[in-house]
Chains A and B, each alone.
Chain A
Amino acid sequence: MSIECDNLLSFLSDELEEKEKKAFAEHLIHCPECTREYDQMTEAWNSLKWDFEEFAPPSSLKSEVMNFVFESNPEIPVPVRKVKKWSSFFRKQFTPITSGLLLATLVLVIVLLNSNVQLKKELSAINLPVEVETTLSLQPADKTAVNMNTDGVAYVLQQGEERRLVVQIQNLPTLKESEVYQVWLLNKGERANAGTFKPDEAGTGLLTYKLILNDQFNQIGITKEPDPNGTQPRGKKIVGSS
């Protein structure tokens, strides 16, 4: 006898919770004693249902029963229930978490699509020739400085719709560790950042910068900056276009 065996009668009279019911059904498979008892008792239990006499109801009962069934349960309830089921099914799918994840995925898809389009444009532009749109020669800002033979050139290159700024400078003064040269686009007194670079040991520096469509400028300037993080010039101007 185990504790489970104790549930035999409750199982027979269907008083167990779903979980206990399952547990006992499982137990029944492994307990020969319960199986034997259960078989005997089930036979008696099932025969109990015959312990009554058939009895004719009042003749009015049929219409009452049928009205009750078909009024409380219309004959075509299936589609209605299905619609409800589907809508609640969908609602169940969209918990705050899944909605959030879905939104994040959508954003990611849009970003990726966009960059893909961008990439395709660039690739298709490869077939087009690069043309020099503008050339600016660069001179030292401090022309009085002795031994200042720094000079260079800046080009605006056009390839299809794309515009690129290329800056090349020779004989730049050497920089201290975190220092960089920063290129600025000048337009009506406004300065816009066009990137930073470090020259090689010989003092030759090179920078390319992809121009955005509305990047308009008529001059460029190059400053020496303490670090590459500035949005406005902080250091001394070294070279610039005239």
Chain B
Amino acid sequence: MRLEEKLDKELMALVKKKYRPALEELYDRYIKLIYGFIFKFTNGNEEKTKEIVQLVFLKLWTTKSSYNPEKGNFVNWLLTVTRNVCVDYVRKDSIHIRNNKQMDLSKPIDIEDPNNDIENGLINSEIAKAKNKLSKPQKRLIDLLYWKGYSLTEIAKIENEPIGTIKSRLHQSLKQLKKYLEVGDL
């Protein structure tokens, strides 16, 4: 059977056996997805995006925790791995900066979606629609946590609020988001 016809899980099994063409096939299949995710995470920084893409594929090549088809589809797993690499990257990358500069709070933290500029604000995914119904502060908290990889403690510092407040606001925001997602389904 040709590699192109193989299932994702079969490709991952081959990758585990150190079969290089299988990793290249996964790249061809999912690079747009991975690249887009990381591009958003790095706020459109091409250099960082490239570095993280490299780390994601290195992780796929060396990972010991293999993909388990029973725990959800492959793309979900792939994006979770990708985000973990992103978070590790920004945490390592910024420990120095965050600690030494005490976080420069005077500069606003840009959390605009770079693609939204390109797409002229055209929103086509369910999640983006649902998220857009949240209030700005709610969206901002979620983005700081999910798309910036800040820890809860760091967010509390940035927002200058007690961590308990941040937690309960995020809690409410996520619950709200879930409701909007359900409504969107109808």
Q: Are B35 and A73 in contact, CB atoms less than 8 angstroms apart? A: no
> 8 closest A-B pairs (Cβ-Cβ)?
A55-B36, A53-B115, A52-B40, A44-B178, A68-B54, A54-B32, A44-B177, A44-B174
- Asked whether B167 lies within 8 Å of A9 as measured between CB atoms, the reply is yes
Interface pick from A35-43, A83-91, A124-132: A35-43
Which B153-169 residues have a C-beta within 8 angstroms of A?
A: 164, 167
Other A-B pairs, 14, CB within 8 Å; known A6-B164, A54-B35, A65-B27:
A10-B152, A15-B152, A37-B175, A45-B146, A47-B126, A48-B131, A48-B147, A49-B76, A49-B83, A51-B128, A53-B36, A54-B32, A54-B33, A55-B39
A64's partner among B50, B164, B175 (CB-CB below 8 A) is: B50
One of B18, B37, B174 near A45 (C-beta < 8 A):
B174
Q: Which residues of the partner chain B approach A61 to less than 8 Å between Cβ atoms?
A: 31, 35, 50, 53
Q: Is B74 an interface residue (CB 8 A)?
A: no
Which residues of A, 8-24, contact B by the 8 Å Cβ criterion?
8-10, 13-15
Asked if A73 meets B62 with Cβ closer than 8 Å, knowing A9-B171, A44-B178, A48-B146, the reply is yes
In the complex, per-residue mask of A71-94: 1 if CB is within 8 Å of any chain B CB, else 0: 011011010000000000000000
A65 touches B57 (CB 8 A): yes
Nearest Cβ distance between residue A242 and chain B, in whole angstroms? 90
Q: Given that A48-B127, A48-B146 are contacting pairs, would A9 and B170 also be in contact in the complex, using a CB cutoff of 8 Å?
A: yes
CA–CA, A43 and B180, complex, Å: 12
Is A147 part of the contact surface with B, judged by Cβ < 8 Å? Answer: no
Please give me the residue from chain B that is nearest to A49 by CB atom. Answer: B79
Nearest CB on B from A134, distance (A) = 80
Contact residue among A52, A70, A78 (Cβ-Cβ distance under 8 Å from B37): A52
Q: How many interface residues does B have (CB within 8 Å)?
A: 53
Interface size class of A (residues with CB under 8 A): 35 or more
Provide the bound-state CA to CA distance between A43 and B18, in Å. Answer: 34
Question: Can you give 11 A-B contacts (C-beta < 8 A)?
Answer: A8-B167, A9-B171, A15-B152, A44-B175, A45-B146, A52-B39, A55-B39, A57-B35, A61-B31, A61-B35, A73-B61
B12 in the interface, Cβ–Cβ < 8 Å?
Answer: no
Partner of B171, one of A8, A48, A75: A8
A69 touches B58 (CB 8 A): yes
Say if the beta carbon of A56 comes within 8 Å of chain B.
yes
Interface on B for A, CB 8 Å cutoff? 18, 20, 23-24, 27-28, 31-33, 35-37, 39-40, 49-50, 53-54, 57-58, 61-62, 76, 79-80, 83-84, 87, 113, 115, 118-119, 125-128, 130-131, 142, 145-147, 151-152, 164, 167, 170-171, 174-175, 177-178, 181
Bound Cα distance A14, B86 (Å): 13
A76 CB to closest chain B CB (Å) equals: 7
Q: Do B115 and A56 have beta carbons less than 8 Å apart? A: no
Residues of B within 8 A of A214 (CB): none
Contacts of B58 in A (CB 8 A): 68-69, 72-73
When C-beta atoms are compared, the residue in chain A nearest to B153 turns out to be A15
How far is it, in angstroms, between the C-alpha of A53 and the C-alpha of B113 when the chains are bound?
A: 9
Q: Which residues of A contact B87 (CB under 8 A)?
A: 14
Q: Are B79 and A57 in contact (CB under 8 A)?
A: no
- When C-beta atoms are compared, the residue in chain B nearest to A57 turns out to be B35
Q: Are A50 and B167 in contact (CB under 8 A)?
A: no
Q: Are B125 and A50 in contact (CB under 8 A)?
A: yes
Q: How far is the CA of A15 from the CA of B58 in the complex (A)?
A: 23
Q: Decide: A62 near B27, CB < 8 A? Known: A6-B167, A52-B37, A55-B35.
A: yes
- Chain B: minimal CB distance from A206 (Å): 78
